[in-house]
Amino acid sequence: MRFTLAKGELGLDYLGELKELLPYVPIIIVSGALEVHQQIHALQGPRRAHYCITKPADLNELRRTVETALAECGQTEVVRQFEALERSKRLDAQELLSRSTDRLSRQTQIRQLLAKSDERPNISALSRQFKVARRTIIRDLQELIRRGELGSEVYPRWQSDDEEGEADEKE
């Protein structure tokens, strides 16, 4: 498609409108008047062209570009984007399931370790053993206590400075 434009107008000015009207049609810009920064601008963003060829254009290159654009752009491109999004969501769900399974497995092992000991748990040693952060072990212990799988004496809540000061005054 060739545009005859008024003085000072560029075909790039209409790129957004063209993309809006025909979102599934691949756009190939063939121009001898565009500066490099204008070509880059035309190929970036949501309302972009798919290809930019400079004049004089080699007919073989133009033919290959059109074939590639028809095979890989437009609707095919949108379908690929949706498939990629679907895969990423599936991976996120699998990762979440894996983390939940790991957490439950770790909590079961912690519960079993603590059942064999009369001492309070060593948070640092557990975090090294399970290769997780100390706060993760603390959360695991708190969750086990909340679910009633461990007694609260295993990991009592620490009093804040205000509560300790009030307790000292009462004595």
| CATH code, domain carrying 139 | 1.10.10
Question: What torsion, rounded to 10 degrees, do the Cα atoms 51, 52, 54, 59 define?
Answer: 20
CB 49 within 8 A of CB 78: no
pTM of the model as a whole = 0.41
- The reply to whether 52 and 107 lie within a common domain is no
**Which domain covers residue 33, as residue numbers?**
11-73
Residue 109 lies in a domain: yes
Radius of gyration of the CA atoms of the chain, in A: 32
**Closest by Cα among 130, 131, 138, 78 to 106:** 130
Residue 133 lies in a domain: yes
Task: Please give the Cα distance from 139 to 144 (Å, whole number).
Answer: 9
Helix (H), strand (E) at residue 91: helix 75-115
CB 20 within 8 A of CB 49: no
Question: What torsion, rounded to 10 degrees, do the Cα atoms 121, 125, 128, 134 define?
Answer: 50
Q: Strands of the chain (E only): list them.
A: 28-31, 51-54
Reported confidence tier of residue 133, pLDDT bands at 50, 70, 90 = very high
What digits encode the pLDDT tens for the residues 18-64?
777 777 777 887 877 677 777 777 777 666 777 778 888 888 988 88
- The reply to whether 111 and 148 lie within a common domain is yes
Q: Scanning the structure block, which residue is given the tokens 């254009």? A: 57
CB 110 within 8 A of CB 140: yes
- The reply to whether 88 and 58 lie within a common domain is no
How far is residue 132 CA from its own chain's centroid? Answer: 22
Residue 98 lies in a domain: yes
What digits encode the pLDDT tens for the residues 107-129?
999 999 998 888 889 999 999 99
How far is residue 106 CA from its own chain's centroid? Answer: 26
